[in-house]
Chains A and B, each alone.
Chain A
Amino acid sequence: MIPHLLSMQDLSVDQITAILDTAETLKEIALRPIAKVPTLRGRTVCNLFFEDSTRTRISFEIAAKRLSADVINFSAKGSSVSKGEGFKDTALTLQAMGVDAIVVRHAASGAPQQLTRWVDAKVLNAGDGWHQHPTQGLLDLFTIRERLGHIEGLRAAVVGDVFHSRVARSVVQGLLTMGAEVTIVGPPTLLPPRVDTWGTAVSHDLDAVLPKTDVLYLLRVQQERMGEQFFPSSREYARIWGVDRDRLARLPEGAVVMHPGPMNRGVEVTADAADAPNSMIQLQVTNGIAVRMSCLYLMLGGEDGRAADVGGRGSNSERVEA
């Protein structure tokens, strides 16, 4: 069992394989006349989002509902967070109300880890700062395995704004754990410090890397996180690091293109490249639901998968009162 899902780094090959295998079976539920199973009846999942998100929140919500869990959506806007309620008090409130799982997104790296100290619920990290986004990494691994049959031995290139990207940290760790070779490609200003310790190759020449790439993973240029200039202009970025039809043509036969979304069409990827036949971008979104169902299924079973015990569990209820 996975106690909490905080970082790709915590997951072993066996655990990742179990999550992907389970997701493979659960994916079929979406195709049924009644696209729902009763497995998580009586469990409550709270989506606790301190940052904006569309696809991740909706994906988790659909995943929980397909398993018959009750879902509460809590976003910082329009909640008592805008009245100044802190992260800890919000967490303790959810604890007191008795939720079994908290899906959390927060601008601060490490916030989900901190949350596990305050609540009995299982915590699933839906993105924390520049740190991790493990379900995104898992759905990417799932999509690669589904499309290419295996992960081990594949050559992956992760291109672009690695510095600001929690997705990159999760997906690179996942690929390395599963035995893929990874090359990080981007301008030096957008590569993280100590990237040499990541266990990957590093390149500043996209065109040289393309012919040796089975999985081309494009990252979003996170303009909203860029307080200062990291590159001269979007147009220059697109010319040197953006992927268009011409660059797609340099990939080997059978290679796939991925992007975690949302895309800046015309910056890291052109519109026609994003919609090319070997683009996995829509499939990634579809697979996200099955992978998140798998995580919830594997985490919320058994006696210890249930935290909803309102007023019980001495230690934490005391803390709420204190």
Chain B
Amino acid sequence: MTAPISATVVLADSDVARALKRMAHEILERNKGPDRLVLMGIRTRGIPLARRLARQISEIEAVEVAAGSLDVTLYRDDYARTGPRPLGQTSFPAEVDGKVVVLVDDVLYTGRTIRAAMDAVMDYGRPQAIQLAVLVDRGHRELPIRADYVGKNLPTSSEQEVRVHLAESDGVDEVVVATAPASAASATTPLATAAGPTRPTSPATARRRA
């Protein structure tokens, strides 16, 4: 019953690099080049991923592609339940009117973050299309949303926790699946430091402010 949390590395750093490289090619293929692309990383771990995809695309096409950052806190559907969260900056590298906005996030889970992100983008203009790129799709959607570009499909149970570590913030590139002891869901607390936008909101991760 007191079994320790088991954590399995499902993507190592070379796997992450290969996945991002393939996704960059897929984005270019689907959109017939980089001309209208605006890559928007969803805070927090989507931001370095968007930068890396932009760098890959820039290398492949030999043109500069910029990445922006998107904070969806003000568009979330749980403000009335869990209260205010700290806000982050949103910055678009270019106008979005008529562009293809590629949302980039680390883990696709319920889809609620992506719903919020689409609403946020629409407030900045009328993109020609919005697409979605995620490093990991772990299933368990609660909204009719799917990703256009997926690094890895990762079937999980909702008790499991998917942690994406990136060199920029965590010193290493890897994706880890952690399984908490079945008896206590709250045992995931020590992992809450890795909480990203798509994580299930448990009392432990729901941050409150003064």
Contacts and interface: CB of A to CB of B under 8 A. Distances in A.
B71 A25 contact: yes
A301 B123 contact: no
A8 to B, nearest CB: 14
A33 interface: yes
B210 A14 contact: yes
A303 interface: yes
B83 A302 contact: yes
Bin the interface of chain B by size: 20 to 34
B117 to A, nearest CB: 13
A1 B90 contact: no
B123 A302 contact: no
Contacts of A22: 84, 86-87
A303 B209 contact: no
B80 A42 contact: yes
Contact of A1 (B81, B124, B210): B210
A38 B74 contact: yes
A71 B191 CA distance: 41
A6 to B, nearest CB: 15
Contacts of B88: 25
Nearest to B96: A33
Interface string B131-157: 000000000000000000000000000
B30 interface: no
A10 to B, nearest CB: 11
Interface string A29-44: 1001110111110110
B89 A302 contact: no
Contacts of A195: none
Given A25-B71, A38-B119, A301 B83 contact: yes
Contacts of A306: 80
Given A36-B123, A305-B80, A298 B210 contact: yes
Chain A binding surface SS class: loop
B32 to A, nearest CB: 27
Contacts of B83: 1, 301-302, 305
A107 interface: no
Nearest to A68: B74
Interface in B68-83: 71, 74-75, 79-83
Interface string A292-309: 000001100111011000
A21 B71 CA distance: 14
A15 interface: yes
A25 B79 contact: no
A2 interface: yes
Contacts of B74: 29, 37-39, 67, 297
Interface string B181-210: 000000000000000000000000000111
B80 A28 contact: no
B125 interface: yes
A2 B84 CA distance: 11
B75 A1 contact: no
Interface string B82-113: 11101111100000000000000000000000
Top 9 A-B pairs, shortest CB-CB distance: A302-B83, A301-B83, A301-B84, A25-B87, A37-B74, A15-B210, A34-B123, A39-B74, A18-B210
5 contacts: A14-B210, A25-B71, A33-B124, A301-B79, A302-B208
Given A302-B82, A305-B80, A306-B80, 5 more contacts: A22-B84, A28-B90, A297-B84, A298-B209, A303-B80
